[in-house]
Amino acid sequence: MTSEKAKMLNGDPYDAMNSELAAERERARDLTARYNRTAADDGETRRELLSELFGSVGEDAAVEPPFRCDYGYNVHVGDDFYANFDCVFLDVRRIEIGRNCLIGPGTHIYTATHPTDAAERSEGLESGEPVTIGDDVWIGGRAVLTPGVSVGDGSVIAAGAVVVEDVPAGVAVGGNPATVVRELDDEE
């Protein structure tokens, strides 16, 4: 029999109220609460807590508190990653963020999703799709990335954009839903 956690990590419908998953969410809540109480000048404690919370953390990665996530272990960030205040990562599936990425305040990244059919939704099962963000990406404040999207290297997501489809490399997108506003030159 497949565990609910294995189903979640595979992207299959799973019961989020499962006791193992509930305990793992509690662990993440504890770690984020501790992280969110750290002092601005306590970089060592912040690095230790991020390393314990996230699946992998690159060199010089920083997250401004407050920060929230579901599990933490599905979040992987590269070198020189920076997330500003009030970010939320719903990481029932993998969130992969490359190196030299900047995440604006209040940005939400969602991998969790629910059935669109009301009868199925009332059964309480949910699922997820991974989110992948390439290297050298800048995501403006209050942007939302929805389940299953990928963002190509060097792209810019405008503040307030809602990304519902993949973003190619080297473009700026904005709006709801986000669309390509322009291609970015290498000199920019």
In a domain, 166, yes or no: yes
In a domain, 114, yes or no: yes
In a domain, 188, yes or no: no
| Contact predicate 104/122, CB 8 Å | no
Report residue 129 as tokens: 């799709």
Matching residue, tokens 């999703």: 113
167 forms beta bridges with: 151
DSSP class of 81: -
Matching residue, tokens 């920060």: 67
- We report the CATH number of the domain holding residue 55 as 2.160.10.10
Instruction: Note if 108 is an active site residue.
Output: no
In a domain, 109, yes or no: yes
| Mean pLDDT value across residues 36-55 | 97
pLDDT value of residue 188: 53
Catalytic residue among 34, 114, 160, 164: 114
Beta-strand relationship, 144-145 and 162-163: parallel
Does pLDDT of 10 surpass 70? yes
110 forms beta bridges with: 90
| Contact predicate 107/143, CB 8 Å | yes
pLDDT value of residue 185: 83
Mean pLDDT of the chain: 96
Does pLDDT of 38 surpass 90? yes
Does pLDDT of 186 surpass 80? no
In a domain, 142, yes or no: yes
Residues 6+ apart with CB under 8 A from 111: 74, 90, 91, 92, 93, 94, 95, 128, 129, 130, 131, 147, 148
Q: Give the structural domain span for 96.
A: 4-183
Report residue 71 as tokens: 């599990």
| Mean pLDDT value across residues 59-82 | 98
Side-chain-side CA neighbours of residue 95 (13 Å): 23
pTM reported for the whole predicted model: 0.96
Domains in the chain, number: 1
